[in-house]
A and B are shown apart, each in its own frame.
Chain A
Amino acid sequence: MEKMSRVTTALGGSTLTGRTMHCHLDAPANAISVCRDAAQVVVAGRSIFKIYAIEEEQFVEKLNLRVGRKPSLNLSCADVVWHQMDENLLATAATNGVVVTWNLGRPSRNKQDQLFTEHKRTVNKVCFHPTEAHVLLSGSQDGFMKCFDLRRKDSVSTFSGQSESVRDVQFSIRDYFTFASTFENGNVQLWDIRRPDRCERMFTAHNGPVFCCDWHPEDRGWLATGGRDKMVKVWDMTTHRAKEVHCVQTIASVARVKWRPECRHHLATCSMMVDHNIYVWDVRRPFVPAAMFEEHRDVTTGIAWRHPHDSSFLLSGSKDSTLCQHLFRDASQPVERANPEGLCYGLFGDLAFAAKESLVATESGRKPYTGDRRHPIFFKRKLDPAEPFSGLASSALSVFEMEPGSSSMSWFVDTAERYALAGRPLAELCDHNAKVARELGRNQVAQTWTMLRIIYCSPGLVSTTNLNHSVGKGSSCGLPLMNSFNLKDMAPGLGSETRLDRSKGDARSDTVLLDSSATLITNEDNEETEGSDVPADYLLGDVEGEDDELYLLDPEHAHSEEPEYVLPQEAFPLRHEIVDTPPGPEHLQDKADSPHVSGSEADTASLVPVDSSFSLISVSHALYDSRLPPDFFSALVCDMLRFYAEQGDVQMAVSVLIVLGERVRKDIDEQTQEHWYTSYIDLLQRFCLWNVSNQVVKLSTSRAISCLNQASTTLHVNCSHCKRPMSSRGWVCDRCHHCASMCAVCHHVVKGLFVWCQGCSHGGHLQHIMKWLEGSSHCPAGCGHLCEYS
């Protein structure tokens, strides 16, 4: 309404002019119809039946057809239609089942012409034959369609749909004898007007009632239907079986559908409930409406294009008692408000990017996107050159793949699967996890675990002698000697750290770290799991040599270090310094692309510095463990968790959170925890690590997370005999009365873990199937299927 543009269209001799405008009616409208000359519109409703002239600036009431002393139900209109050949002829469908025709040429005030009271229930729709002057068709709630010849007093023929209420009837525009009817049970029928005995064709178009249909004005075979299931479907009726060619999903049940003149793929829809807008869709672009009219304040009940050869004027009537003329030019275009670009990270670090073609064209010319490391794949959708339509944009999708190998997320999967999160004492958990991390080459993480063990377990769990022992050994590698070495080496090593797994050249700094952590851990391992095959040989010979010496020194060390009680604080400047060191150039780019993608490769690099700094601290801490309560470190640990999470390694953050449980939980606010949990669970699920994710959900203490598992899970089971879904829970299929979940190997009912092939749905006890598959790859049931179990 704000924009008031004026449009003039030349149509042969006449011209259409006008603007977006509306006028108030006295009562809600149920239907509208336009006169052939596009200058008048009729509005009908329960208590309104008027003709308005469409003038340039406004609607002008021309005629009120509701005359008589007492308004009768015959005037309570469900539908109205204006003859497209004869401007004096109108027909209405009344809610009480009467079909009325009106002749505007009558001299008296009452223009009512004929009254057909043949239907027993409400008539939902009336329709004139597009070329024949005297043929009228009606469809009623009673399930019948009747064809009237206006020169006679009663119906010429009656068509029985044999199903439920008729919701819409429409003569085909091109086929003289054909009409389509839609039904409340979802069917669409095609009839030949000469053969009332049976329909030519019937098919189920929608789930639930089909409220409306419309033949394409140009394309002979196309029929659009709209239903309560919120869909608009376009059917190609020329083929032997009606074929669905397009489908548009709307947000509410579709009450009316009308093809837009002169635009082959456009149609307008309005809904019956909840949604008040009128949409114009391009059926080839079914997700975003091409245009949207938002004038009405209540549901729109009738829409009509003003002229069959003009595509810019749309008229509509509504329950809010207004009649509107919409100008296509004034429509709002949701496309414009939509975000034209999309970006998504793949599971393995691939990046997909979709954008308007024009945007991408300029960008793809730029260097970074076609860089040496990444290989863009380029898709381009062809524009339909025949259709001059601004709203239909074509977009390009580029996919950037990671270099094979560099993007491997296997460390994530392995870690997730092998970490132990609960069920054992804290010390053991930490050790186990440290070991896992170390074996995967993630030394910094391993060290963190080790430190956590020392911080939280030493005083309580490890006896004094053991403590001394481990402390001694820990200090052996971490003390001054190494310190300088570490620091010096770390900074330059950073950039290349990503390639840690691959490039042996960088291993030097790692080995140093590795040594220290390895010592720490193996020591503990040796204490607790004696004789295990934990990499004792892993230890470097020289460290072992030092071991003994330093062990002796140990008590003194502890005392001499005492004045440096403030050492922990040192960690912060250290850390910051190292974090600030610029990572490799690729990482900058990576980060620019997505600063917070968790699990992205970037984190590996940035994690290193923290750990190195921590390793220093922890070693020094170890010396004072017996004197410092674990609480002393909680702030530090929290910082550490936050840091990991920020770097994208939520896995670490969540794992530590779970393992430490009560010890740190209170120091981190609920929301952050919840956020970590959800991102970790999300990641796990994307890697199909269902078991792990379930375990995490179960172990989480946050209410919002643990209720994720409470949401009911439905398992749909098919019977392995008749392959139809099993409706009831239990072992016996309702249909074929066989026990459904029989083990194909031992032929007993399986009541525990049941494993089955998704190909042939045979299966059985887990053990039995496993045993069977060792010997054969065919299905044990003998169905010949080559079963696959993954």
Chain B
Amino acid sequence: MAEEEGEVRWDGLCSRDSTTRETALENIRQIIVRKAECLRLVKETPYRPADGLSDAVSLDGLNKLLAHLLMLSKRCPFKDVREKSEFILKSVQELGIRIPRPLGHGPSRFIPEKEILQVGSEDTQMHTLFADSFAALGRLDNITLVMVFHPQYLESFLKTQHYLLQMDGPLPLHYRHYIGIMAAARHQCSYLVNLHVNDFLHVGGDPKWLNGLENAPQKLQNLGELNKVLAHRPWLITKEHIEGLLKAEEHSWSLAELVHAVVLLTHYHSLASFTFGCGISPEIHCDGGHTFRPPSVSNYCICDITNGNHSVDEMQVNSAGNVSVSDSFFEVEALMEKMKQLQECRDEEEASQEEMASRFEIEKRESMFVFSSDDEEVTPARDVSRHFEDTSYGYKDFSRHGMHVPTFRVQDYCWEDHGYSLVNRLYPDVGQLIDEKFHIAYNLTYNTMAMHKDVDTSMLRRAIWNYIHCMFGIRYDDYDYGEINQLLDRSFKVYIKTVVCTPEKVTKRMYDSFWRQFKHSEKVHVNLLLIEARMQAELLYALRAITRYMT
């Protein structure tokens, strides 16, 4: 029944031309209204009990459409589409069909909805970004809505992502989305998995692959091992891993394909970090993003429960936050004071060479014990876990398990000199795009800190960046790792560590308990630093292995 009426085509809505959008919407409206009326007729005729199954199917189909419309009515950058979608929903409701309503509290569970930019109130620069993103993907995802705190970065991010997924490249389109799914599934990030499952099917991917990695081609299965190591222990990547992928007879990867895959894997690993780090809510049109139940039944969504973020929890944190406002105020002051001191005293207090070296080791070692107390094993939701194997393989600290990993010296292999050249050689233009993205993320500053203005935050940003690299064993010769201890307090370290290494364990409590006086936009800024530093660290290890293989 649903199929006969023809597929609903959403792509007309991505057009920048309002008349095209209008005709597309009108088509959608007719289809939906027709379906709704069919359904109502079926309901009103009581003597057809045998056809329950097909009813359910058609209802399901209609509900999907309605959910998509709901998404459009909230998240489309074009005003006309938003209004018309809402209108269609209303008219469907008048037919006596239950319509969905969005669940959760805006794009992020951590950031109150009112803090986040509302679609429709953006300025022209942001509108262009939104329109670009919408035109490319047919949606405006929650990640974009959170990242738009930093439009300069967002532009570069979207450009890169668009290039990786949709432009010329060695890998076929469905492979790219599948690799995205594989990478996101490593961190049990159902948000990204859901998004890319849709995209994967949309570009003509084989639905069978989604039943698990073992149903995908051997070539992709081979990538599983690299995905695993890269996500959790990138320092273990050797040139043997690379060789194994490149020399697998008919299943082998070409160098260019491999670089594309590696860039995709690292991109999605770090994007999973962002998703959890900022508590991105499920998309409205995906599972868990909307409900058809009337509002009185439940107040929180399932994901909140699994992460221990009930509203009750929220209350506690809020009250705790209120109590310690004065405390946290001093926190900022103290941090500022420390930065000032470090700036001034650097030349006087001359640490010996041995001490400098040991400071790095100490920081590296300590970073292992920085962990949230609730270290319980979270078993991943079933539908996500089927996309990867070996669920037990997670982040393990190097020396805690008696492994000694030689320190990676940035001065010997760095992104600017070596990584860039290699990527650009094998996957042209992407090196440039990623390089730009790293630069923007590293240099982004508004010279503010919480309520203070005109602050040079470069020292703080460098500390965060180097701390993340330090967790991966990457050392900068010209950095005094003592600074990290001075600038980053424990709760902040816990947050960083969790976001970067085990993002699935991030809770709202962690997000709230660091830097309590800082603005949400600043916390998102921190997250951008985290994901870019993580991506660079993974890339460095993978690219070094490729370089070693090539020489």
* Cα-based distance from A70 to B354 in the complex (angstroms): 8
Which single member of A70, A97, A712 contacts B168 (CB below 8 Å)? A712
B132-155: which have CB < 8 Å to A?
132, 135
Q: Is the C-beta of A228 less than 8 angstroms from some C-beta in chain B?
A: yes
Given the known interface contacts A253-B421, A274-B425, A731-B17, the answer about A73 and B135 at a Cβ–Cβ threshold of 8 Å is: no
Q: Is the C-beta of B477 less than 8 angstroms from some C-beta in chain A?
A: yes
Which one, A115-123, A423-431, A618-626, is touching chain B? A115-123
Q: Is the C-beta of B316 less than 8 angstroms from some C-beta in chain A?
A: no
In the complex, which residues of chain A have a beta carbon less than 8 angstroms from the beta carbon of B422?
273-274
A133-160: which have CB < 8 Å to B?
141
Given the known interface contacts A95-B411, A96-B478, the answer about A273 and B418 at a Cβ–Cβ threshold of 8 Å is: yes
Given the known interface contacts A272-B417, A274-B422, the answer about A732 and B16 at a Cβ–Cβ threshold of 8 Å is: yes
In the complex, which residues of chain A have a beta carbon less than 8 angstroms from the beta carbon of B420?
208, 228
* Cα-based distance from A751 to B16 in the complex (angstroms): 12
Rounded to whole Å, the gap between the CB of A226 and the closest CB of chain B is: 12
B165-180: which have CB < 8 Å to A?
167-168
* Cα-based distance from A710 to B420 in the complex (angstroms): 29
Rounded to whole Å, the gap between the CB of A229 and the closest CB of chain B is: 9
Q: Is the C-beta of A728 less than 8 angstroms from some C-beta in chain B?
A: yes
Q: Is the C-beta of A72 less than 8 angstroms from some C-beta in chain B?
A: yes
Q: Is the C-beta of B550 less than 8 angstroms from some C-beta in chain A?
A: yes
In the complex, which residues of chain B have a beta carbon less than 8 angstroms from the beta carbon of A274?
421-422, 425, 547, 550
Interface 0/1 of A51-92, CB less than 8 Å to B: 000000000000000000010111010100000000000000
In the complex, which residues of chain B have a beta carbon less than 8 angstroms from the beta carbon of A208?
420, 432, 435
Q: Is the C-beta of B298 less than 8 angstroms from some C-beta in chain A?
A: no
Q: Is the C-beta of A558 less than 8 angstroms from some C-beta in chain B?
A: no
A725-752: which have CB < 8 Å to B?
728-732, 734, 751
Q: Is the C-beta of A663 less than 8 angstroms from some C-beta in chain B?
A: no
* Cα-based distance from A96 to B547 in the complex (angstroms): 25
Contact B478 A121 (CB under 8 A): yes
Interface 0/1 of B7-20, CB less than 8 Å to A: 00000000011000
Q: Is the C-beta of B128 less than 8 angstroms from some C-beta in chain A?
A: yes
Contact A96 B421 (CB under 8 A): no
Q: Which residue of A lies closest to B432 (CB)?
A: A208
Rounded to whole Å, the gap between the CB of A172 and the closest CB of chain B is: 26
Which single member of A72, A94, A184 contacts B354 (CB below 8 Å)? A72
* Cα-based distance from A72 to B477 in the complex (angstroms): 11
Q: Is the C-beta of A614 less than 8 angstroms from some C-beta in chain B?
A: no
Q: Is the C-beta of B551 less than 8 angstroms from some C-beta in chain A?
A: yes
Rounded to whole Å, the gap between the CB of A210 and the closest CB of chain B is: 12
Q: Is the C-beta of A469 less than 8 angstroms from some C-beta in chain B?
A: no
Q: Which residue of B lies closest to A749 (CB)?
A: B17
Contact B17 A122 (CB under 8 A): no
Rounded to whole Å, the gap between the CB of A74 and the closest CB of chain B is: 6
Contact A117 B350 (CB under 8 A): yes
Which single member of B167, B350, B432 contacts A712 (CB below 8 Å)? B167
Q: Is the C-beta of B94 less than 8 angstroms from some C-beta in chain A?
A: no
B419-447: which have CB < 8 Å to A?
420-422, 425, 432, 435
Q: Which residue of B lies closest to A121 (CB)?
A: B478
Given the known interface contacts A95-B478, A729-B135, the answer about A273 and B411 at a Cβ–Cβ threshold of 8 Å is: no
Which single member of B409, B418, B550 contacts A272 (CB below 8 Å)? B418
In the complex, which residues of chain A have a beta carbon less than 8 angstroms from the beta carbon of B346?
120
Q: Is the C-beta of A265 less than 8 angstroms from some C-beta in chain B?
A: no
Q: Is the C-beta of A309 less than 8 angstroms from some C-beta in chain B?
A: no
Contact B547 A728 (CB under 8 A): no
Interface residues on A, range: 35 or more
In the complex, which residues of chain B have a beta carbon less than 8 angstroms from the beta carbon of A122?
411, 477-478
Rounded to whole Å, the gap between the CB of A365 and the closest CB of chain B is: 47
Given the known interface contacts A46-B412, A228-B420, the answer about A731 and B16 at a Cβ–Cβ threshold of 8 Å is: yes
A239-256: which have CB < 8 Å to B?
252-253
Q: Is the C-beta of A435 less than 8 angstroms from some C-beta in chain B?
A: no
In the complex, which residues of chain B have a beta carbon less than 8 angstroms from the beta carbon of A729?
16, 135
In the complex, which residues of chain B have a beta carbon less than 8 angstroms from the beta carbon of A252?
421, 425
In the complex, which residues of chain B have a beta carbon less than 8 angstroms from the beta carbon of A599?
none
In the complex, which residues of chain A have a beta carbon less than 8 angstroms from the beta carbon of B409?
46, 95
Q: Is the C-beta of A297 less than 8 angstroms from some C-beta in chain B?
A: yes
Q: Is the C-beta of B357 less than 8 angstroms from some C-beta in chain A?
A: yes
Q: Is the C-beta of B353 less than 8 angstroms from some C-beta in chain A?
A: yes
Q: Is the C-beta of A289 less than 8 angstroms from some C-beta in chain B?
A: no
Rounded to whole Å, the gap between the CB of A80 and the closest CB of chain B is: 15
Q: Is the C-beta of A400 less than 8 angstroms from some C-beta in chain B?
A: no
In the complex, which residues of chain B have a beta carbon less than 8 angstroms from the beta carbon of A74?
353
In the complex, which residues of chain A have a beta carbon less than 8 angstroms from the beta carbon of B167?
712
Interface 0/1 of A217-232, CB less than 8 Å to B: 0000000000010000
In the complex, which residues of chain B have a beta carbon less than 8 angstroms from the beta carbon of A276?
551
* Cα-based distance from A121 to B476 in the complex (angstroms): 9
Contact B477 A730 (CB under 8 A): no
Q: Which residue of B lies closest to A117 (CB)?
A: B350
Q: Is the C-beta of B344 less than 8 angstroms from some C-beta in chain A?
A: no
In the complex, which residues of chain A have a beta carbon less than 8 angstroms from the beta carbon of B354?
70, 72
Which single member of A76, A95, A273, A730 contacts B417 (CB below 8 Å)? A273
Q: Is the C-beta of A756 less than 8 angstroms from some C-beta in chain B?
A: no
Contact A76 B477 (CB under 8 A): yes
Contact A72 B411 (CB under 8 A): no
Contact B478 A120 (CB under 8 A): yes
Contact B417 A228 (CB under 8 A): yes
Q: Which residue of A lies closest to B422 (CB)?
A: A273
Q: Is the C-beta of A674 less than 8 angstroms from some C-beta in chain B?
A: no
A532-567: which have CB < 8 Å to B?
none
In the complex, which residues of chain A have a beta carbon less than 8 angstroms from the beta carbon of B551?
276, 297-299
* Cα-based distance from A711 to B167 in the complex (angstroms): 10
Q: Which residue of A lies closest to B417 (CB)?
A: A272
Contact B356 A273 (CB under 8 A): no
Most chain A CB neighbours (cut-off 10 Å) among B17, B131, B135, B411:
B411
Given the known interface contacts A46-B411, A273-B547, the answer about A73 and B425 at a Cβ–Cβ threshold of 8 Å is: no
Q: Is the C-beta of B374 less than 8 angstroms from some C-beta in chain A?
A: no
Which single member of B128, B356, B425 contacts A734 (CB below 8 Å)? B128
Q: Is the C-beta of B416 less than 8 angstroms from some C-beta in chain A?
A: yes
Which single member of A70, A121, A297, A751 contacts B17 (CB below 8 Å)? A751
A161-217: which have CB < 8 Å to B?
184, 208-209, 211
Most chain A CB neighbours (cut-off 10 Å) among B131, B420, B435, B550:
B420
In the complex, which residues of chain A have a beta carbon less than 8 angstroms from the beta carbon of B425?
252, 273-274
Which single member of B128, B353, B417, B550 contacts A728 (CB below 8 Å)? B128
Q: Which residue of B lies closest to A72 (CB)?
A: B353
Q: Which residue of B lies closest to A76 (CB)?
A: B477
* Cα-based distance from A76 to B422 in the complex (angstroms): 25
Rounded to whole Å, the gap between the CB of B301 and the closest CB of chain A is: 35
Contact A211 B16 (CB under 8 A): no
B114-137: which have CB < 8 Å to A?
128, 131-132, 135
In the complex, which residues of chain B have a beta carbon less than 8 angstroms from the beta carbon of A73?
353, 356-357, 477
Rounded to whole Å, the gap between the CB of A238 and the closest CB of chain B is: 31
Which single member of A70, A228, A297 contacts B421 (CB below 8 Å)? A228
Contact B477 A95 (CB under 8 A): yes
In the complex, which residues of chain A have a beta carbon less than 8 angstroms from the beta carbon of B357?
73
Contact A730 B411 (CB under 8 A): no
Rounded to whole Å, the gap between the CB of A19 and the closest CB of chain B is: 27
Rounded to whole Å, the gap between the CB of A97 and the closest CB of chain B is: 5
Contact A78 B17 (CB under 8 A): no
Contact B411 A70 (CB under 8 A): no
A661-704: which have CB < 8 Å to B?
none
Instruction: Knowing that A273-B417, A273-B418 touch, tell me 9 more A-B residue pairs with CB under 8 angstroms.
Output: A46-B411, A70-B353, A72-B354, A73-B353, A95-B477, A117-B350, A228-B420, A252-B421, A751-B17
8 A-B residue pairs with CB within 8 Å: A95-B478, A121-B478, A208-B432, A208-B435, A228-B420, A253-B417, A299-B551, A728-B131
A residues bordering B, Cβ < 8 Å? 28, 46, 70, 72-74, 76, 78, 94-97, 117, 119-122, 141, 184, 208-209, 211, 228, 252-253, 272-274, 276, 297-299, 711-712, 728-732, 734, 751
**3 nearest interchain CB pairs?**
A72-B353, A730-B16, A95-B477
